[in-house]
Amino acid sequence: MKATRTHRGAAVAALVVLLCGLQMLAVLGMGGSAQDSEIVLRRVIAARVQYAADAGALIAARQIRELRAVPTSDLTLGDSRISFVLNTVSSGTGDLVVRASTDNASRRIRVTLAPSGN
């Protein structure tokens, strides 16, 4: 009879150790999931700021094409801030730098300007 109790005690102890091991695996698996969500969040923020910089470049290109001034103050697009720096070298040529920033991320696009063939 004592041998049966000893076996039962050993089985319970083994079961407790097994459950603890499974619980540790589950916790470790959750840690990787948190890392993945952080990576996804960073990619979303990077895509957002890239779209804002692209939109700023398109806005500036339209302004230049219509012979209007490029915005001198920052524009806000959603939660992104877009700034413009126009460096003209001679009539119609130069560089336009568009910078967009949001959520601790930023993108800069440089556009080389050339006179139109018209």
Q: What percent of the chain has pLDDT over 70?
A: 87
Residue 111 backbone phi and psi in degrees, to 5: -115, 125
Domain boundaries along the sequence of the chain: 2-113
How much is the pLDDT for 63?
87
Q: What are 109's strand-pairing partners?
A: 98
Mean pLDDT of all residues in the chain? 83
| pLDDT, tens digit, 9 for 90 and up, residues 25-61 | 877 776 666 677 888 888 999 999 999 999 999 998 8
Structure token pair of residue 53: 């910089």
Instruction: Give the closest residue to 83 by CA, choosing from 64, 66, 102.
Output: 102
pLDDT value at 104 more than 60: yes
Contact 84, 101 (CB under 8 A): no
More confidently predicted of 16 and 105: 105
Contact 87, 33 (CB under 8 A): no
| pLDDT, tens digit, 9 for 90 and up, residues 17-34 | 888 888 888 777 766 666
Neighbours of 96 (CB within 10 A): 21
How far, rounded to the nearest angstrom, does the alpha carbon of residue 1 sit from its chain's CA centroid?
Answer: 66
- DSSP at 20: H
**pTM listed for this prediction:** 0.65
